[in-house]
Amino acid sequence: MCGAYTEARVVGYPRRVSKQESPIEELSLYVKLRPESAELGGGTEVKATGGAHAKLELADGGARIEVALPDLATTELRYVVDQLIKALGGMVRVGDVVLDGSEIADPTLLTVALDLHHRSKGRVSIPENAEIQAEMERIARAEDLYRRWVNEDPSIRTSIQIANDVGKWAADHDDVKVTVLEEDELHEKGLRLLLAVGGASEQSPPRLVLAEYRPKGATEAPLAIVGKGITFDTGGINVKPYASFVSMMKNDMGGAAIACALFESLVESGYDKPLLLVVPTCENAVGEKAMRPGALVESYSGKTVRIDHTDAEGRLVLADALAYAGDTYAPAEYLCFATLTTAALNAYGPFATPVHFANSDLQTRIENSGAAMGEDFHFFPKRLWHTIANVDKEADLRNTARLPGNASAGAGSRNAAHFLLEFANAPLCHFDIFASTWNWSGEAPGTGYGATGAPLRSLIGAFARK
């Protein structure tokens, strides 16, 4: 039966199987990656996206594809290989995957292996490279957690569930201490912005989840890893229209998911410096207790904020979280993650992550790791006009910044990032992950509908190499 498919010609997209054809049984797939100059073996030619060349052979119970990779950036190679695997979906139902990348660089092998791991639901092995196999499995565990949380039903992945899961994980780690501030303590301590955003939700009420990691002998100030945890974003009273992706807004806790996954991965790898996890989490719901447009709210820091639009809520919960963490734990610096603005998708496309305010050392590490792991970043510095854009006439700040004149509707990601700077008492690096955390295009390598896992692997690489 397999022989009936050996003459098929794949042209970079799945071949449709007619109703009269019976799909063949699930096959194991052997994937061999080779450099562009390599001579490929026998089999049917596969014409692929991006200039790659491949040959496919099918035999009873298995399939073998050899791929000569073109000289492209790793992020493009990931796309090329993923398109090939998608194309095979019209011919074979892939089961276990065996990957041979002995002729290509280890970083490229690792990131392709991670994509195949997710596509095959964990059924990929690299028998020729045990070290890369172990590294793939370690990073995949973190990406799986991140993706699982983002994909989960928001009636399950609530603020209460996030707090419970962090506490449950920490119970197995003696060097991690978890504190969860609930509504009464948030009121007592004055985190009014977080309370305002989450005031209308009983199912996913306001919480501030804090986890301290201090390895033995470490005395320096911690690195704070901060993540926005809006478990569902209706937009509040300024309710989101359908065109604003409201049906996907369970992903608005992607910042919390990536922050928790990064924190847990670093702790489990034996990271030798103190860390602090900071997750402000709640649901931005519509109801009698929802915050009103035009409200003036005094933040934890003492600065007042005018609520110009209730759908600009992520910066509000992060503002209180940054200020409280700064006062209580005095971190050395902040890494902040949030699906903060649709502008990140509109301006930078579906695969890239804008990064604001990284210092030169951190930027170099992220750039190098991103290039190796096949993920794109755009870096932006602090600029005075974006700071001024957040200033308000009634309050100290407003939550919808405006540049002057004809530029007023632009730079949403940058304006929002500068709002956060007003509440950080140490250097802040902010990642606007709205575009990269969700498979908006349907073409993100290694993933189907929903969460992508990006850009976690690059961050793990950046800090593992420090």
CA–CA gap between residue 253 and residue 364 (Å, rounded): 27
Residue identified by tokens 């990779």 is 69
- Has 240 been annotated as catalytic? yes
Asked if 209 and 201 count as a contact pair (C-beta separation under 8 A), the reply is no
Asked if 200 and 286 count as a contact pair (C-beta separation under 8 A), the reply is yes
Among the listed residues 64, 78, 192, 240, the single catalytic one is: 240
In the chain, the amino acid numbered 390 is N
If we measure between CA atoms, which residue out of 257, 261, 278 comes closest to residue 329? 278
Residue identified by tokens 């790898």 is 269
If we measure between CA atoms, which residue out of 18, 26, 29, 84 comes closest to residue 51? 84
- Has 315 been annotated as catalytic? yes
In order, the DSSP letters of 356-409 are ES--HHHHHHHHHHHHHHT-EEEEE---HHHHHTTB-SSSSEESS---SGGGTT
If we measure between CA atoms, which residue out of 308, 249, 259 comes closest to residue 283? 249
For residue 444, give Cα distances in angstroms to 52, 75, 255. Answer: 18, 10, 19
CA–CA gap between residue 459 and residue 435 (Å, rounded): 16
Residue identified by tokens 């052997």 is 30
> Please, how many CA atoms are within 13 Å of residue 353, restricted to the half-sphere of its CB?
33
Q: What are the φ/ψ torsions at residue 314 (nearest 5 degrees)?
A: -60, -40
Instruction: Kindly provide the b/e burial profile for residues 182-218, where b requires at least 16 CB atoms within 10 angstroms of the residue's own CB.
Output: ebeebeeebbbbbbbbbbbbeebbbbbbbbbbbeeee
Asked if 294 and 307 count as a contact pair (C-beta separation under 8 A), the reply is yes
Distance spanning both ends of the chain, measured CA to CA:
53
In order, the DSSP letters of 99-146 are EE-TTS-HHHHHHHHHHHHHHTTS-EE-TT-HHHHHHHHHHHHHHHHH
Q: Given 3-state DSSP classes, what are the helix, strand and coil percentages for the chain, each rounded to the nearest 5? A: 35, 20, 40
Question: Are β-strands 275-284 and 229-233 bridged in parallel, bridged antiparallel, or unpaired?
Answer: parallel
Among the listed residues 119, 147, 315, 398, the single catalytic one is: 315
Active-site residues: which are they? 240, 315
